[in-house]
Structure 1
Amino acid sequence: MAHHACLLTFWLFLIMPMWCLSTNKNECIYQGEEGTQGFYQDGDVILGGLFPLHSSPVATERAFQSKPAAVEYKDFSSRALRWMRTMTFAVAEINQRQDLLPKLSLGYHIHDSCDDIPVSVKRSLLLVNGQPEKERGASCADVRRQPSPVIVGDASSGVSMAVLRTLGSFQIPLVSYFASCSCLSNKKEFPSFMRTMPSDEFQIKALAKLVHYFQWSWVGLIGVDLDYARFAIQLFLKESVRYNVCPAYVHFYPVILSKEALRELMNIIRDSTATVILNFSRESTLQTILQECRRQNITHLQWIASEAWATSNALWGDFSDLLQGTLGFAIRKGEIPSLYRYLTLLNTSNIQTSHFLSEFWEDTFNFACTGRESLDDVYTLYSDVSQLRVSYNVYKAVYLIAHALHDMSTCVPGQGPFHNGTCGSLKYLLPWQVCLLSYMKRANFTTLGEDVSFDEHGDPIASYDLMSWQVASDGSLQLVKVGFYDASLKDETNLVINDSVIMWHSGNKVCAPVSVCSQSCLPGSRKARRKGEPICCFDCIPCAEGEISNETDSNDCLRCSREMWPNQARDQCLPKVLEYLSFWEPLGIVLWVVSTIGACLTVAVLCVFVMYRNTPVIQGNNMELSFMLLLFLCVCFLIGLTFIGKPTDWRCQIRYTAFGISFALCIACILAKTTVVLMAFRATLPGSDVMKWFGPAKQRFSVIFCSCIQALVCIIWLTIKPPFAANRTQFLSATIIVECDVGSEIGFWFVLGYIGLLACTCFLTAFLARKLPDNFNEAKFITFSMVIFFAVWITFIPVYVSTRGKYMVAVHVFAILASAFGLLLCIFTPKCYVVLLRPEKNIRKNMMKK
């Protein structure tokens, strides 16, 4: 506090007018520049005002040998003059009201801040200390104007901060109508600051959501090197992280752009791939940038305006081709009744009373004053009330102060905001007693249909209109509202945009411009960061086998479950295809057709044997065992059908047990036939009675006995760990293999092993009997059949083990069919040949030949 007091004392002695310093204490001598240019009206309470009527100081060399001349400024702002006059209009309107401050009149004292910190600080001190009239020699009390206990201003955040740091020690309220820097919400540093302009914190949130809405992930950020732009861009960088928006570049340029600074900025913009550029700047500086953009033919940019120039008509005339399609959030617009009439009610007689009005009049009519000029005949920003946004903020600032004064004047003792419910005093309105500021913070009123209130930081509830810069039919700027942002709504609904109304820079109404570092990764791929580059720069990599991504710009691919598999685009998990040997697929059709043919051939052979059962060929080769073998072979062919179709538990159990038992029966029949042939020749030896052990009953018993062993194995297998239907899911496969799990591997191989054992025994027996002296020796044909049988099943084992799914089943069926056909053809084809084609050999005499 002491530090601030010292600074204030320094300013007071340096630039403040000195009062009553002559030897005659009743004579007032004014020290320093008088600063008489402005608007003043007396009243019970004088409201101070600071507005940037002039800007862009002309650079001059200072010799430091004489008093510097007054600074000249290049730019005169008709818009700022409208703001000044809006303040005087609001004061006049309040003074005419009977419901607001009926016993108190308001006055105003308005100065030009020149958008310059030294000038603003100096004139703010003039406002809070009062100012003398020009007459000399009068007493100080008679000539001194009332000090202002509150100031409406300034437009710039940086200027407002400087004024606050100077006057802050005395808690003199400053109500800004256009300063938006979020830093001003810091009540520890700026306790006496309030504003009717929303904080940049809300504007930045709206801008970040806007950029995200149009999927602009690669954005250029530039701003003037002042607190306003620095805090705004810092907030944007922080907020944009939520939406994965990256800055293509961040550049601050000086307030006065030199050739070197302008060249550096242009190089950055030209070399970047970003087509969307967000600028936090003032109008005058932006004009210089746009001129250079046109000179260098940089005309492809989609400009995003900060609220500082989102509705600036002054930029349109010379740069409509560059700014068409510009988007920006503008503060809430208001319609102030009778303001237009008040602004245009000027003539040559009353403008002479104000230096500001005279300068405006001369600038508007090019110094050609005839006395018949009227503002109704010309267009000027001063009288343009179609976009009353900042002017509306000025209007609300005056009403804020008026309502605070009204609440103070109507305060009931004991119900006031101060200690023990005391009220503030209008009689002694001292700023450092914090009376007025306390009432202003509590203010809650309605003006022009809008409810005005403030949060704990002294900021109003933020509400913005999204404006699109479009060309009107006459070539003028048409600011079209295409959406809005309301901070009082939920985050999901606070931004509303009507895309169909937007006209883009290219003149296209359909497609928004693209501004990305990398094109979006479509579903089915994922983003892969580029090393050393921002997060928005990436490559797109297709998802791996078994993985999907169903969102655009997905960071990771998701693995499908074991029962699911990606579609071809890899953006959706679909149920896996069930794979099994179906009856209606080509492979299944071939197998069941061959199985049916095999069964039919077996039945046909059986019919031949039945028809010719009394012939020597049929009777001489153990007819009963032949009939049994044909019956079991038919079953073997039909067993192949149980391997086709969708597996179920009962089908799996039937197929393996039927397969094992049927082949055991077949091989047992062949073994019995071979043994009988071998023993029959040994029985012819003198004294041999071996054939009594191989009669028909014994043959049937041997077949049943051999088969019962296989049946017992199958029963044990089904009891302990039976076969069952299983779904084989694999992560790197698009199918679910539905197959029969053998359950017990030991049981399965035991069944095969027993069939192999019977086949080996049969083969050895047949091999021993192959050269027995018989005209039609069946043993050699059995030997051939066993060779085929072994060849099939020895080949089957490695192929069966190495395959999966329906092909494994097909191998199994093929082995069954091949071995069955081998037995059928080798054993019964020669007999059928003789019976059907060589009947002359089918006689007993021929059978008895040696």
Structure 2
Amino acid sequence: MFHLIHYYPFLGGTIGFGIRQGYIPQLREYLTTVNPQRYPTNPLVQELWGALYGCSPFSSDGAQLPLCTGHETISKQHSAYMNTSSPRIAYNVYKGVYAIAHSLHNLISCNPGNGPFINSTCAHVTKVFPWQLQHYLQEVSFTISGEMVNFDTKGDSIPSYDLINWQKGTEGNIELVKVGMFDGAREPGKELVIYEMAITWSGDQTEVPVSVCSFSCAPGFRKAVRRGEPLCCFDCVPCDSGKISNQTGWWQKPDSKLGHILKVVEFLSHDAMGVTLTVISVAGACVTLAVFAVFLYHRNTPIVRINNSELSFFILISLTLCFLCALIFIGEPTSWSCMLRHTAFSITFSLCISCILGKTLVVLAAFTATRPGNNVMKWLGPTQQRIIIFSCTLVQMIICAAWLIASPPFPYRNTQYQHSKIILDCSVGSALAFWCVLGYIGFLAGLCFILAFLARKLPGNFNEAKYITFSMLIFCAVWLAFVPAYVSSPGKFTTAVEIFAILASSFGLLSCLFAPKCYIILLKPEKNSKQHLMGKEK
């Protein structure tokens, strides 16, 4: 190894794994007794003597080395032979011999009838098979020089290595310094231990070297490749106008005064606008639940019963869901929120309009039933009303399912609308599916409006058809105004417009359908009679 000292400037600081080193008791004392006189027939000792001293202990006609005189000194390049403080290869041989010794001891100590082999037999001492010794080797466990030695089920030793660092010693020689260790017996993730303060890097430096040609560009700058040099070598130049750089993981834009500033990321967050819409949405849901409680408490009064209490409860529940689904539109778009926000509002509104459609059919049937010979009411009982609601809602659910399977909505970053902003929004995925969803809601609303308009002259002081007509007028007006606003509004205002349409149409339905009833129930209880509602009061 010493001839590598000339290459130390290139190899200095090298780190690698080495065989575990350890202490072997009395090894040095034994080596000092090894000589050709003690082992005259051992050719390895003669070869060792020639390597250490450069002479032959015995004369021979074909000898290439001079005869030893007894005054030779050990060669400098072989001085490590006598360094037994912490050997590596010899120490592992030492452990291997002890492992075999422990295995043989356990094999010989086997009691007949309690053996580990077939029918509880033991190995025959005079004829030991390798697989029998391997069995004991896999189970052996002992401590030597403070180190635990054991083996796995395949007979392999548990991996244990030293992390060594090539360093230059005080005398100019190369030293392999232990700077850590790998112990496979430790807990997962803690097998490798590194002593960072003991490491010396190339050039005898204590700081970790940086193995890059050029450092990463700062925000607002881009890479410019240097001609004739590797790709990892580049210069950093300012981004062009309107361009952005996210080299450090942030979206940035250049600025002539500040050098660079964060590029604005825009979405409908819980800022002033988002909080306002959240409060309105929750307030609308609470008001709807309050109306539900009023109707439930007065469910046996004429004004509740004459207007089909079951359908009224269905409408109030669906309106509550309509108010709450507006909350899904607020916050940073994610894959789940994008898919949920469009399908949730479309299904809840379809359920609401389907319930209103069922009520409109009942009102129209009641109007036509006053004519002689007309018994249409028997075809619009509670069961038929539920079937109508379920069927109309099911159609919207099928459209949404096909939408999610074929091309679902997803979050995306719009960097083209404004160079100074990144707009986070939900892409509808399939524009056809999106407009089909809105078109189906519009179809149900239009059908409700036409049927309610036909029954607008129903006699009585409380004409439900008129309120349904007004509610559908408001609903259709809101969503017709939503379409151009949705197309033209930039950034987070697109989402805000959609939330506004949901809340405005929900409040319109709640006000037109239930405000007059609540007024009579709470403020004019004397008018909550069948005679007054039918216009037969004297």
TM range (shorter): 0.5 to 0.7
Return the match for 2:244 from 560, 564, 568.
Answer: 560
Q: Percent identity?
A: 53
What is the identity, as a one-letter code, of the residue corresponding to 2:315?
L
Tell me by how many angstroms 1:647 deviates.
Answer: 0.8
For the residue of structure 2 that corresponds to 1:688, the secondary structure is coil
Return the match for 2:460 from 759, 763, 774.
Answer: 774
Greater mean deviation of Cα atoms: 668-677 or 554-563: 554-563
Q: Which one has the bigger helix percentage?
A: 2
Equivalent pairs counted in the alignment come to 302
Return the match for 1:580 from 254, 263, 267.
Answer: 267
Q: Which residue of 2 aligns with 1:656?
A: 342
Q: Mapping of 1:270-309 within 5 angstroms?
A: none
Q: Which residue of 2 aligns with 1:746?
A: 432
Tell me by how many angstroms 1:613 deviates.
Answer: 0.5
Q: Which residue of 2 aligns with 1:627?
A: 313
For the residue of structure 2 that corresponds to 1:764, the secondary structure is helix
Q: Which residue of 1 aligns with 2:352?
A: 666
Kept in 1, the 8 Å contact 2:285–2:323? The answer is yes
Q: Mapping of 1:124-135 within 5 angstroms?
A: none
Kept in 1, the 8 Å contact 2:239–2:254? The answer is no
What is the identity, as a one-letter code, of the residue corresponding to 2:263?
K
1:605 matched to 2:291? The reply is yes
Tell me by how many angstroms 1:770 deviates.
Answer: 1.1
Q: CA deviation digits over 1:199-245, x for unaligned, max 9?
A: xxxxxxxxxxxxxxxxxxxxxxxxxxxxxxxxxxxxxxxxxxxxxxx
Tell me by how many angstroms 1:568 deviates.
Answer: 4.3
1:637 matched to 2:323? The reply is yes
Q: Which residue of 2 aligns with 1:809?
A: 495
Tell me by how many angstroms 1:566 deviates.
Answer: 2.6
For the residue of structure 2 that corresponds to 1:626, the secondary structure is helix
> What CA distance in whole angstroms lies between the structure 2 residues aligned with 1:823 and 1:556?
52
Q: Which residue of 2 aligns with 1:846?
A: 532
Q: Mapping of 1:782-793 within 5 angstroms?
A: 782-793=468-479
Between Structure 1 and Structure 2, whose CA radius of gyration is higher? 1
Q: Which residue of 2 aligns with 1:701?
A: 387
Kept in 2, the 8 Å contact 1:713–1:751? The answer is yes
Cα 1:608/1:726, change in 2 over 3 Å:
same
For the residue of structure 2 that corresponds to 1:685, the secondary structure is coil
1:829 matched to 2:515? The reply is yes
Q: CA deviation digits over 1:453-473, x for unaligned, max 9?
A: xxxxxxxxxxxxxxxxxxxxx
What is the identity, as a one-letter code, of the residue corresponding to 1:671?
L
The CA RMSD measured in Å over matched residues stands at 2.5
> What CA distance in whole angstroms lies between the structure 2 residues aligned with 1:566 and 1:556?
9
What is the identity, as a one-letter code, of the residue corresponding to 2:525?
P
Q: TM-score, normalised by structure 2?
A: 0.53
Greater mean deviation of Cα atoms: 765-774 or 600-609: 765-774
Return the match for 1:794 from 480, 483, 488.
Answer: 480
> What CA distance in whole angstroms lies between the structure 1 residues aligned with 2:522 and 2:380?
30
Q: Which residue of 1 aligns with 2:75?
A: none
Q: Which residue of 1 aligns with 2:367?
A: 681
Q: Mapping of 1:159-178 within 5 angstroms?
A: none
Kept in 1, the 8 Å contact 2:365–2:376? The answer is yes
Cα 1:559/1:763, change in 2 over 3 Å:
closer
Cα 1:659/1:555, change in 2 over 3 Å:
closer
What is the identity, as a one-letter code, of the residue corresponding to 1:779?
A
Cα 1:795/1:662, change in 2 over 3 Å:
same
Return the match for 2:396 from 694, 710, 724.
Answer: 710
Kept in 2, the 8 Å contact 1:566–1:572? The answer is no
Q: CA deviation digits over 1:345-374, x for unaligned, max 9?
A: xxxxxxxxxxxxxxxxxxxxxxxxxxxxxx
Cα 1:728/1:840, change in 2 over 3 Å:
same
Tell me by how many angstroms 1:849 deviates.
Answer: 2.5
What is the identity, as a one-letter code, of the residue corresponding to 1:757?
F
Cα 1:555/1:602, change in 2 over 3 Å:
closer
Tell me by how many angstroms 1:567 deviates.
Answer: 5.0
> What CA distance in whole angstroms lies between the structure 2 residues aligned with 1:558 and 1:751?
37
For the residue of structure 2 that corresponds to 1:774, the secondary structure is coil
Q: Mapping of 1:190-339 within 5 angstroms?
A: none
**Relative contact order: is structure 1 or structure 2 higher (C-alpha 8 Å, sep ≥ 6)?**
2
Tell me by how many angstroms 1:599 deviates.
Answer: 0.3
Tell me by how many angstroms 1:791 deviates.
Answer: 1.1
Cα 1:559/1:781, change in 2 over 3 Å:
closer
Q: Mapping of 1:478-493 within 5 angstroms?
A: none
Kept in 1, the 8 Å contact 2:239–2:245? The answer is no
> What CA distance in whole angstroms lies between the structure 2 residues aligned with 1:560 and 1:574?
11
Q: CA deviation digits over 1:58-84, x for unaligned, max 9?
A: xxxxxxxxxxxxxxxxxxxxxxxxxxx
> What CA distance in whole angstroms lies between the structure 1 residues aligned with 2:258 and 2:496?
34
Q: Mapping of 1:349-388 within 5 angstroms?
A: none
